[in-house]
Amino acid sequence: MLTLNDVKKGKADKVDQAIIDQFRRSSILFDLMPFDDCVAPGGTGSTLTYGYMRKTTASPAALRNIGSDYTAGEAKRTQYTTNLKIMGGKFGLDRALNIANPQEVAFQAEEQVIAAKNLFLYNVVNGNADTVFDGLSKALTGTDTEITSAADLSTVSATTALVIIEELNTAIMACKRKPSVILANSKAIIKLKTAAAALGYLTRSEDSFGRQVEGFDGIPFVDAGRYYNDLLGHDVDIIPTGGDGKTDIYLICLAQDAFHGVSPAGGKVINSKLPDFANSSDAVVYGFVEMIASVALKDTRGAAVIRNVKVQTATVATTLTVTVTGNGAGAVVTVNPATLPIGHKYYTAVNASTIAVPSAGTAINTSTYTALPANGVVNVTANYYCRVVQADAELYPVNTGEGTAK
């Protein structure tokens, strides 16, 4: 097992060391996470697959009477595989720009580090093996360490703080050892700090770079951050807050027998190359930053999740622009923005009179609202209203708008 600090020590190039340090500085989770650097393509193939066993049920123990025997029961493990993925990007700079602004290379490299880090963290939480690798959300679904919250932290008081503190302690006790980090989005982190401070449980420590870190019972709070969604064209929270104002909080034990990263053999988790203007005659010279990694949850007690922690009052925005072109069975409904966050969908309702904005924090009724088809064709009688609602994966409304057929 290697941490990124161990990988850095194995790099002779100062640039490589600096890039790795940027990854470490960007997130405490990155700095602490161990990587099993054992994956290498075998035979004539080029696969980067890591196989492991996940403990799902502990071995039972019981009392027995003289002359009687135990009922047999074994600890249960399930075989899993995860595929390492290559994440990163390249950037090109004109040699004239490099002369005019020598700091541009460092800026572009740092931005590429941030992008790669955020993409990896997004999949650490939300990943699915169908496209990348299974993240914690999927791996913990249905396990004993999945807890449904009763906390309402939209307004923090001594009473509401006590509820989330009890849930944090319950999640810690459900893990196989004291968690290494508490991972959440920025809204939840603010609420957790306030709740912990109100009851005297807020602790402070320093990370590897001497920066102050606040936490609960010595476990640092880590902001999962945001990542740039190419389809949406803007940043979104890695751990989202739903239309009901609720989010999830993860407690992670970083260890070889709990939760850890996986990387190619030889400490090759992070690779980089800066533009070499001295040895290239091209007008534009390229550099890249990438990481090759996956994650493995070796024990379902190696992490816990507190689901549906309410961190803000549910609201419905009214900023969707809805246009109805034509009328009748061939009416076409278009919505701006056209692209949605992952897990969100558009739903429509049609009526002769204007349709009220759906209630915040209440799932929309699918007998009233139907999914907007990909082609936008909806039967809208002339002069009738068509309301479109953006709903999250749990059908809670997030945004809405209304148009009229002409």
Range 4-41+49-55+79-310 classified under CATH 2.60.40: no
Tally of CB atoms within 10 A around 196: 21
- How far is it, in rounded angstroms, from Cα 76 to Cα 80? 13
Tokens encoding 14: 């100062």
- How far is it, in rounded angstroms, from Cα 69 to Cα 405? 77
250 contacts: CB under 8 Å, gap ≥ 6: 125, 136, 182, 183, 184, 239, 303, 304, 305, 306
- How far is it, in rounded angstroms, from Cα 287 to Cα 45? 28
Per the CB < 8 A criterion, the answer to whether 368 and 355 are in contact is no
Predicted confidence at residue 304, as pLDDT, reads: 97
405 contacts: CB under 8 Å, gap ≥ 6: 324, 326, 327, 328, 331, 380, 381, 382, 383, 384, 386
- How far is it, in rounded angstroms, from Cα 387 to Cα 406? 15
Predicted confidence at residue 75, as pLDDT, reads: 74
Predicted confidence at residue 52, as pLDDT, reads: 87
Tokens encoding 384: 């009738």
The residue with tokens 């490589």 is: 16
User: Residue type for 75, please?
Assistant: A
Alpha carbon separation from 398 to 180, 185, 364, 383 (Å, rounded): 33, 18, 10, 26
From 293, 264, 248, 1, select the one nearest 136 (Cα to Cα): 248
pTM of this structure? 0.86
Per-residue pLDDT of the chain (406 residues; tens, 9 = 90+): 888 888 888 777 777 788 888 888 888 998 999 999 888 766 555 578 898 888 777 677 777 789 888 788 777 778 888 989 999 999 999 989 888 888 888 899 888 888 898 999 999 999 998 889 999 999 999 999 999 999 999 999 999 999 999 999 999 999 999 999 999 999 999 999 999 999 999 999 988 888 899 999 999 999 999 887 776 777 889 999 999 999 999 999 999 999 999 998 888 888 888 898 988 889 999 999 999 999 999 999 999 999 999 999 999 999 999 999 999 999 999 999 998 888 899 999 999 999 999 999 999 999 999 999 999 999 999 999 999 999 998 999 999 999 999 8
- Exposure on the CB side of residue 154, measured as CA atoms within 13 A: 13
Alpha carbon separation from 335 to 75, 102, 289, 351, 406 (Å, rounded): 52, 44, 36, 18, 16
Q: Where are the domains of the chain?
A: 4-41+49-55+79-310, 321-404
From 201, 305, 216, 191, select the one nearest 252 (Cα to Cα): 305
Predicted confidence at residue 391, as pLDDT, reads: 96
Per the CB < 8 A criterion, the answer to whether 202 and 196 are in contact is yes
Helix (H) or strand (E) holding 276, with range, is: none
Predicted confidence at residue 293, as pLDDT, reads: 93
Predicted confidence at residue 156, as pLDDT, reads: 95
Predicted confidence at residue 229, as pLDDT, reads: 76
- Rg (alpha carbons) of the chain, rounded to whole number: 25
Per DSSP, 396 falls in state: -
Predicted confidence at residue 268, as pLDDT, reads: 84
